[in-house]
Structure 1
Amino acid sequence: MTTLLQDIGSPARTPRRGPGRPRNENIDDRVLSAVLELIDEQEEVTAARVVRRSGVSRAALYRRWPSLTTLLAAALDVGREVPPPIPTDANLRDAILGSLLDATVGTAQVSYPDERFRQRIRLAMADRNLQKAYWTSHVARRREPIEDALRAGVERGELRADLDPEACFDLIAGVFYYQFVVRGDHLNDEHTRARCRSALEVAWRGMLPTCPA
């Protein structure tokens, strides 16, 4: 990916404050919007196209993101949010499973549409560097609330002592990815959600200290 250059300053209309020029807060939004437009239109994202569409100088663009890979990763995460912590005084099973099921409906579907999700999968699978950058900078931090809750469950004796929270998250998150990516079903569909709920219940039983034969 293209190595990004150092910025030489903000637009001339930005007033000076002290010895340097302040950062133009609008630049980030304009750049990310331009990238998302290109992604949504299934156009290749290049520095030249982003500069042309956003109206932001190449220098200003390159100061903010060290490569096109990191820029793409940031754009693909627009509309996603880190889930809130799982309450420590809540029923652990209900809180975790509820958090997973709630994350697939409601406002998240509006701010992060299905088609963009599919584009994200396509771009990440085509570029391992992008896949790794997106994982490191964005995806990994959204796992933390549930992984922390699983660790708390182990510490309280509610879950198996040998439980691997990261592996368990992969297991339960994979339930949803399979429905969407492999089966091509919508996560708002009640039959799809029923399958997810059933699979999550099976996974949860395997996490308990004693799993019935």
Structure 2
Amino acid sequence: MDEAGFASARRGPGRPRAEGHDERIFAAAGALLDRGEEVTVSRVVELSGVSRASLYRRWPSMTDLLAAVLDEGREVPEIPLDGDLLENVLVAYTSPRAAGPNFSEDRFRMRLRLALTDRKLAQAYWRSHVARRRAGITAVLEAGIARGELRADLDLDACIDLVNGVFYYQYVVRGASFDDPDVVARCREAVRVAWRGMTTDERRE
């Protein structure tokens, strides 16, 4: 991904960012992705009209730029902490446009494909984007524990992986779409099963 220049070129102090550069860089990288072309410094500079130095100042690497472009349109889901926590999770995960109004399923599938073939990209995407979107579900699980509804010994990361895996499986293995009501119903039931395993013994009886 033409990473070499990033190691030696970093933004210096006192140099303001030119207005509109970020948007042009994003648009250029996104256009290359959508056309199936390799995203390189040279091609992004050519399409965006932004200088190579400006690109280097904005992004620590092309991998980080690509991860940001792939995440465009995604939002951090807000999950209420009052009322029925399980129902709040189901609504947040399965309501129409739960991923955000600008979510692109084609771009999402592209991210999956690229991440499977590029471990550095997958790790960059995790650090800068995926991890922050877990804050909502983490807060829900912590609220459930505080209420005494969920087990105090839960491994929160493992539980979140379990719930999120339900949805990734539909995309990656089944090739399903969440426009299909049967897919949504299957995911909701799977989350309910996972949730029962997280509840305290008293709540299961």
The reply to whether TM is greater than 0.5 is: yes
Q: Is the 8 A contact 1:159 1:208 kept in 2?
A: yes
- Specify every segment of 5 or more residues in structure 1 that has no aligned partner in the other structure, as ranges: 10-19
Corresponding pairs, count: 200
- Specify every segment of 5 or more residues in structure 2 that has no aligned partner in the other structure, as ranges: none
Alignment match, 1:49? 43
Match of 2:176 among 179, 185, 193: 185
Q: Is the 8 A contact 2:85 2:144 kept in 1?
A: yes
Q: Is the 8 A contact 2:73 2:100 kept in 1?
A: no
CA deviations on 1:145-200 (whole Å, 9 max, x unpaired) are: 11111012112201012112211111111111111111001012101111111111
Match of 2:122 among 122, 131, 134: 131
CA–CA distance in structure 2, aligned partners of residues 71 and 39 of structure 1? 12
Q: Is the 8 A contact 1:31 1:61 kept in 2?
A: yes
CA–CA distance in structure 2, aligned partners of residues 146 and 59 of structure 1? 39
Alignment match, 2:135? 144
Superposition TM-score, scaled by structure 1 size:
0.87
CA–CA distance in structure 2, aligned partners of residues 7 and 54 of structure 1? 19
Alignment match, 2:67? 73
> Which residue identity is paired with 1:193?
V
Alignment match, 1:196? 187
Alignment match, 2:92? 99
Q: Is the 8 A contact 1:154 1:160 kept in 2?
A: yes
Superposition TM-score, scaled by structure 2 size:
0.90
CA deviations on 1:39-63 (whole Å, 9 max, x unpaired) are: 1111110000000011100000100
Deviation (angstroms), 1:122: 1.4
Deviation (angstroms), 1:28: 0.5
Q: 1:107–1:29: structure 2 CA closer, same or farther, 3 Å change rule?
A: farther
Alignment match, 1:24? 18
CA–CA distance in structure 2, aligned partners of residues 177 and 31 of structure 1? 29
> Which residue identity is paired with 1:48?
S
Deviation (angstroms), 1:21: 5.5
CA–CA distance in structure 2, aligned partners of residues 6 and 208 of structure 1? 49
Deviation (angstroms), 1:67: 0.8
Alignment match, 1:12? none
